[in-house]
């Protein structure tokens, strides 16, 4: 027991405890290190997300904040960023980054589930996600929500592993699912099932795939950046988010 450092419950109740400029600095330094080592896609991702330098960007899955750093590195211009995660300590990373960069007026975080985003219909310019869908469940439900909150013409910019089975094989490798077995299970459980499945489901939600690029760095997994554009808005009349 002596070696276990317990986190006081008061700290656990307060995500803001994690949102310090010191933590923001650490996240930014880690992201820079990551770009040098393997994250060759991160700058392109940031540039695509912040292309218009205006409007409201919603980031799904703050996590460790690496995607957030990619976006802020490219410069928000006059744009605003709301970063969402179900885990408040992760969501707080975005506030830490904002504090360090002195961008608190432009960056905020929200603790919410992607399945029911507390955001109005047709109100957001860009939704982005950096390895968010890879680890979420009910990806099809998340696409419905992304489509609902985006304005017509708005973009959804996503980074995911090209091979959807990598992540699960890292944790369940010892069970030795074949790829085919995994894909069946993943589809039933609503996991991310790869680029083709994502495109098909996005099209059901009024998106068209505008652009995609696969990165094969050699020293790490293949990943794909995809840019979807929302074409119309007539599927959610009168829907009021909870």
Q: Which of 51, 135, 163, 203 binds ligand SAM (CB under 6 A)?
A: 135
* Measured distance CA(125)–CA(151) in Å, rounded: 6
Q: How far is the CB of 4 from ligand SAM (least distance, A)?
A: 23
Q: Where are the beta strands (DSSP E) in the chain?
A: 56-60, 80-85, 107-111, 124-130, 150-161, 207-215, 223-230
Task: Examine residue 202 and tell whether it contacts ligand SAM (CB under 6 A).
Answer: no
Question: In the structure encoding, which two tokens stand for residue 158, read together?
Answer: 């996503």
* By CB under 6 A, residue 87 contacts ligand SAM: yes
To which residue do tokens 């276990």 refer? 4
Stretch that binds ligand SAM, among 45-53, 58-66, 169-177, 199-207 (CB under 6 A): 58-66
Q: For residue 54, state whether it binds ligand SAM (rule: CB under 6 A).
A: no
Q: Which of 74, 85, 149, 164 binds ligand SAM (CB under 6 A)?
A: 85
Non-local CB neighbours of 28 within 8 Å, separated by 6+ positions: 69, 97, 100, 101
Residue 200, class by beta-carbon neighbours within 10 Å (0-12 exposed, 13-18 middle, 19+ buried)? exposed
Residue range at the interface with ligand SAM (CB under 6 A); choices 9-17, 45-53, 131-139, 183-191: 131-139
- How many CB atoms sit inside 10 A of residue 214's CB? 12
Binding range to ligand SAM, per CB under 6 A, among 17-25, 83-91, 94-102, 205-213: 83-91
Smallest gap, in angstroms, from Cβ of residue 91 to ligand SAM? 8
What is the number of residues in the chain? 242
Which of 87/104 has CB closer to ligand SAM? 87
Contacts of 184-189 with C-beta under 8 Å, sequence gap 24+, read 189/137
**90 lies in the site for ligand SAM, by CB under 6 A:** yes
Nearer to ligand SAM, 18 or 233 (CB): 18
Which residues contribute to the site for ligand SAM (CB under 6 A)?
61, 63-67, 85-87, 90, 113-115, 130-132, 135-136
């Amino acid at each position: 027991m002596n070696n276990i450092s317990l986190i006081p419950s008061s700290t656990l109740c307060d995500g803001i405890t994690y949102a310090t400029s010191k933590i923001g600095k650490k996240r930014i330094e880690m992201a820079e290190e990551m770009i040098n080592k393997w994250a060759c896609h991160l700058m392109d991702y940031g540039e695509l997300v912040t292309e218009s330098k205006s409007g409201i960007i919603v980031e799904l899955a703050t996590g460790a904040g690496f995607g957030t750093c990619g976006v802020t590195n490219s410069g928000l211009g006059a744009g605003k960023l709301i970063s969402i995660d179900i885990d408040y300590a992760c969501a707080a990373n975005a506030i830490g980054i904002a504090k360090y960069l002195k961008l608190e007026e432009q960056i905020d975080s929200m603790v919410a589930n992607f399945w029911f985003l507390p955001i109005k219909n047709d109100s957001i310019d860009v939704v982005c996600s950096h390895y968010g869908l890879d680890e979420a469940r009910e990806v099809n439900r998340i696409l419905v929500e992304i489509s609902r909150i985006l304005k017509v013409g708005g973009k959804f910019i996503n980074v995911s592993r090209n091979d959807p089975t990598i992540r699960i094989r890292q944790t369940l490798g010892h069970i030795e699912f074949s790829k085919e077995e995994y894909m069946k299970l993943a589809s039933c459980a609503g996991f991310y099932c790869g680029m083709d499945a994502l495109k098909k489901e996005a099209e059901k939600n009024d998106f068209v795939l505008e652009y995609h690029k696969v990165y094969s760095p050699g020293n790490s997994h293949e990943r794909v950046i995809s840019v979807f554009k929302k074409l119309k808005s007539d599927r959610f009349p009168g829907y009021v988010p909870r």
